[in-house]
Amino acid sequence: MYDIRELDIYNMALNFSNDIWKICSKWDWFPKKTIGSQLVQSADSISANIACPV
């Protein structure tokens, strides 16, 4: 069995989603609410899909 945190691609995806969150959190309310929330959810799903493939 392996630890998911040892996978480079998982860590890259996790760092990517953290960077996207930091960027979007600085936006004004309307772009954050409309585009930002979708962008953050999409970025988060990359590492989630690597960690738990269906």
Overall pTM surpassing 0.95 (yes/no): no
The answer to whether the beta carbons of residues 6 and 49 sit under 8 Å apart is: no
Domain parsing of the chain, residue ranges: 4-51
**What residue type is assigned to position 17 of the chain?**
S
Query: What's residue 2's pLDDT?
Result: 77
Whether the pLDDT of residue 1 is over 80: the answer is: no
Distance CA 54, CA 24 (A): 29
Query: What's residue 54's pLDDT?
Result: 65
The answer to whether the beta carbons of residues 40 and 22 sit under 8 Å apart is: no
Residue 21, classed as helix, strand or coil, is helix
Cα 18 to Cα 3, 11, 46, 53: the distances in Å are 20, 10, 12, 20
**2-42 per-position pLDDT tens digit:** 789 999 999 999 999 999 999 999 999 999 999 999 999 99
More confident residue, 19 or 52: 19
